[in-house]
Amino acid sequence: MSTPSSVTAVETARQGLCRMIATGELRCGDPLPSEAELCERLGVSRSSLREAQRMLTVAGALEAHPGRRCTVSTMGPSQILQGLEMVIPLLPLDRYLELLPLREVLEGHAAAQAAARLSDEERSRIVALARRLADLDPGPQAQRLDAEFHAAIIIGGQDPLIATLLEIMRRRGRDYHVFEEEAHRELKAVSDTAHLRIAAAISDRDAEGARFLAMEHVRVTRTWLEGIRPGPVLFEA
């Protein structure tokens, strides 16, 4: 078990490294100074420094390179969100539901951006995906096509940070299968109608209509999850 002094030393090292990155002393891609230099500067042992570096690597701030010094990461979406990527797939339903208001806003924004930015060919593809999905019965193929439909919209929003965050959140959402249960199979038709309406708004370049419909779709999904409370069945794309 760690002693209070060792915890303090690790935190001292972590804060020191964070200050060097936050002030711009160390920039994206820069290697860290040598262990000896950092230990002397921060007043910590090598073991405390290495633990602090490990913590910042897990958080996405540093990148480890076997046999070489750690470097400051690019701070891109995949790096800064990798902590969430590890935790969100583990959330129980009640905790996941707490994320749905944020997902609602972000999906609305992505749909509005997609309506404004996508090419004619890309918008036609989204409409085609919605129609194909509506023709499928609940099951793995429909799950995969649903993921593809929403990914096309989210990526079409052309905001990598929001796209990465939404993909992490939606990945856990796909573990809760509502339509496959016999008592709730009719709900897929409601979902299919929502998809078709969202696709039509994007096709018409109706950004605000797409925003409203995408947000409404997430709100309805949240209502289903709260009422049905399905158990998670891990989804593999």
Q: What is the pLDDT of residues 11-69, one digit of tens each?
A: 999 999 999 999 999 999 999 999 999 999 999 999 999 999 999 998 888 999 988 99
Residues of the chain with pLDDT under 50: 1-6
Residue listed under structure tokens 């891109």: 76
Dihedral (Cα; 76, 81, 85, 86), 10-degree rounding: 110
What pLDDT score was predicted for residue 5?
46
Of 112, 178, 119, 92, the residue nearest 143 (C-alpha):
178
What pLDDT score was predicted for residue 4?
42
DSSP 30: P
Q: Report the C-alpha gap between 170 and 152 in whole angstroms.
A: 13
Beta bridge partners of 218: none
- List, in order of start, the domains of the chain with CATH numbers: 9-74 (1.10.10.10), 79-228 (1.20.120.530)
For the entire predicted model, the pTM comes to: 0.78
What pLDDT score was predicted for residue 127?
98
What pLDDT score was predicted for residue 193?
97
29 Rama sector, left if φ>0, alpha if ψ -120 to 50, beta otherwise: left
Answer yes or no: are the C-beta atoms of 31 and 67 closer than 8 Å.
Answer: no
What pLDDT score was predicted for residue 58?
85
